[in-house]
Amino acid sequence: MRLALAQLNPVVGDLAGNAAGILEACRRAQDQGASLVLTPELSLWGYPPRDLLLLPARLQEQQRALDRLTRQLARECPGLGVLVGLAEPSGDAQLPNLHNAIALVQDGQWRVVARKQLLPSYDVFDERRYFRPATAPAVLELPWEGRSLRLGLTICEDLWVEEELLGQRLAGPDPVAALGGQGIDLLVNLSASPFGQGKLALRQQLAAQAARRLHCPVVYVNQVGGNDELVFDGASFVVDGSGAVVARMPCCAEALQLWPLAAGEAAPAARSLPPPQPLEQLLLALVLGVRDYARKCGFQRALLGLSGGIDSALVAVIAAAALGADQLLALLMPSPWSSEGSIHDAEALAQRLGLATHTVPISALMGGFDAALSPALGQPPEGLTAENLQSRIRGTLLMAMANQQGRLLLSTGNKSELAVGYCTLYGDMNGGLAVIGDLYKTTVFRLCSWLDNPDSRSCRNALGLPAEGELIGAAIRLKPPSAELQPNQRDSDSLPDYTLLDPVLKALVERRHSPEQLAAEGTDPQLAQRVMALLQRAEFKRRQAAPVLKVSSQAFGSGWRMPIAAV
């Protein structure tokens, strides 16, 4: 038996389009001799569908899409089976009234064959709002070589049960243990697991442990693509009964790969790709997130402000790789405090990437605001007010360009700034997508250093970026961080050095430590308290920020639910 792993990139809510994508994968699998096609969790909907699941008309549309897929599959791929992720109505009046389920479509019919048991409702997940959990394991029997092949079917979180690996797990049954006495020949896990740094290795460890517990191979099929703030990296794989990886699919790309289950037939090692290195994974995820956010929201072109600093430089590289340099416009907006070096660095970066640029000096606009506000204020704007005005002038210019030309405005702020409020509402926070809003400043430096290293050459080439020489440039990477909103300004005038700040932020945000815990671990108590105060004070800004591409275990987005008015 040949299984086809279909690593698909659905559009959330596009039931007809997603069904067409599943059918196309089935056609290709049929041509390659497959018997069964595996698609990701909720593959008919795209994950996460969120409150689209509450619309009765959408559930009726699901029925039509599934029926149409069933007819087309029987006509075009007779005998081929496909496992499709769908939302199954419970048929009663109790809420939630859906199951997160898998259907087998084959021979002109479809039937539900599995339901998800562990429903995550933490971080970005909110499945208990929509689904009720299953209470029994699922085993699918298929005819194979004169006997029945028994497939244990699990859905995403059902595999995440190893407390020793995870440190903790969702309360509820152990779906892997429940399959232990079922005599299964293969464990299948259909997932929609978002990208996270280090997560690819963790998924493989979980699958390996399940394989050893059940003494059978595990096939893991993951969704790929960007959906709003979430990026799904695919990276599907197969492990054998000992837990060794025997097949691996690409990271951050749609793909279809066959895996033969017949005894004595080895997995196609030539097609088992080595995993990308961590910084390459991170870059690929960010590029995919920007590309799909733009495509799925109807944008072909993008815009950003280019300052000559490292943050906007990195966003420019990511956007050029995602959309093509010819679809990206950079706006340079020098003020009286902008250094000649920053202007030159921005222009040089644009030239390396092949970006079109426009330069709009803001000195005259600053003077106009000063003149207009002075009578009301009794003096010209000064201090932080004057600094924020510069940022808001730039934000207004960027929004005007984006509106006039139908471009997606990309915000260039990083996670460190967003965490402590070192950013301006209606200024540099303007935009439709915060590309690096989940990257600490020190991570920005590491990623840019890797991009300028020969180790990144093959990745740059694959993304259509210049493969030779520096990309970001040493002049940008080595300059002290500065917003340049007043003469000789440095970020360190207002903030601790990022090498001190970022570890504290990571502990506060991602590990939920208190300042007292940090102090007990050796952090300067005053630093810990100061950073916590800044973090809490900036909550109102984050609530109004553009969607942030999530790449860490805890991003500022739908999974961060802190109150604004709180002590």
116 is catalytic: yes
The answer to whether residue 72 sits within a structural domain is yes
pLDDT at 186: 96
Is the predicted pLDDT of residue 265 greater than 50, yes or no? no
List the catalytic residue out of 26, 77, 88, 116.
116
List the catalytic residue out of 26, 156, 423, 448.
156
232 and 289 within one domain: no
256 and 213 within one domain: yes
pLDDT in tens, 506-558: 999 999 999 999 999 999 999 999 999 999 999 999 999 999 999 999 999 99
355 and 450 within one domain: yes
CATH code assigned at 85: 3.60.110.10
Is the predicted pLDDT of residue 357 greater than 70, yes or no? yes
312 and 254 within one domain: no
286 and 226 within one domain: no
Pairing relation of β-strands 237-239 and 218-222?
antiparallel
296 and 260 within one domain: no
> How much of the chain, in percent, has pLDDT values that exceed 90?
91
Is the predicted pLDDT of residue 325 greater than 80, yes or no? yes
* Residue ending a domain, choose from 461, 478, 494: 494
Distance, in Å, from the CA atom of 234 to the CA atom of 191, rounded to the nearest integer, reads 9
The answer to whether residue 485 sits within a structural domain is yes
Is the predicted pLDDT of residue 341 greater than 90, yes or no? no
pLDDT in tens, 468-478: 999 999 999 99
List the catalytic residue out of 41, 162, 229, 417.
41
Is the predicted pLDDT of residue 494 greater than 50, yes or no? yes
Region 350-358: what's the mean pLDDT?
97
Is the predicted pLDDT of residue 145 greater than 60, yes or no? yes
* Residue ending a domain, choose from 461, 494, 527: 494
290 and 253 within one domain: no
Lowest mean pLDDT among 2-6, 264-268, 424-428, 461-465: 264-268
pLDDT at 269: 44
Is the predicted pLDDT of residue 335 greater than 60, yes or no? yes
156 is catalytic: yes
pLDDT in tens, 369-419: 999 999 999 999 999 999 999 999 999 999 999 999 999 999 999 999 999
Is the predicted pLDDT of residue 262 greater than 70, yes or no? no
CA 353 and chain centroid, separation: 24
The answer to whether residue 404 sits within a structural domain is yes
468 and 342 within one domain: yes
The answer to whether residue 11 sits within a structural domain is yes
The answer to whether residue 478 sits within a structural domain is yes
* Residue ending a domain, choose from 465, 494, 523: 494
Is the predicted pLDDT of residue 215 greater than 70, yes or no? yes
Q: DSSP letters along 432-452, please?
A: SEETTTTS-HHHHHHHHHHHT
The answer to whether residue 557 sits within a structural domain is no
Q: Give the other-Cβ count within 10 Å of 109's Cβ.
A: 10
Is the predicted pLDDT of residue 493 greater than 90, yes or no? no
The answer to whether residue 517 sits within a structural domain is no
pLDDT at 272: 57
289 and 223 within one domain: no
Region 205-230: what's the mean pLDDT?
97
pLDDT confidence band for 231 (50 / 70 / 90): very high
pLDDT confidence band for 338 (50 / 70 / 90): confident
256 and 293 within one domain: no
| Strand order across the 109-115 sheet | 109-115, 98-106, 81-89, 36-38, 2-7, 255-260
235 and 322 within one domain: no
pLDDT in tens, 269-318: 435 567 789 999 999 999 999 999 999 999 999 999 999 999 999 999 99
Region 222-233: what's the mean pLDDT?
98
288 and 258 within one domain: no
pLDDT confidence band for 268 (50 / 70 / 90): very low
Distance, in Å, from the CA atom of 164 to the CA atom of 359, rounded to the nearest integer, reads 55
pLDDT in tens, 151-161: 999 999 999 99
Compute the mean pLDDT over every residue in the chain, rounded to the nearest whole number: 95
Contact 113, 138 (CB under 8 A): yes
The parent domain of residue 326 ranges over: 282-494
Tokens 């232990």, located at residue: 180
CATH code assigned at 468: 3.40.50.620
pLDDT at 273: 63
CA-nearest of 481, 353, 485 to 416 is 481
Region 48-71: what's the mean pLDDT?
97
Count up the domains in the chain and report the number.
2
Q: Which residues contact 511 (CB under 8 A, 6 or more apart)?
A: none
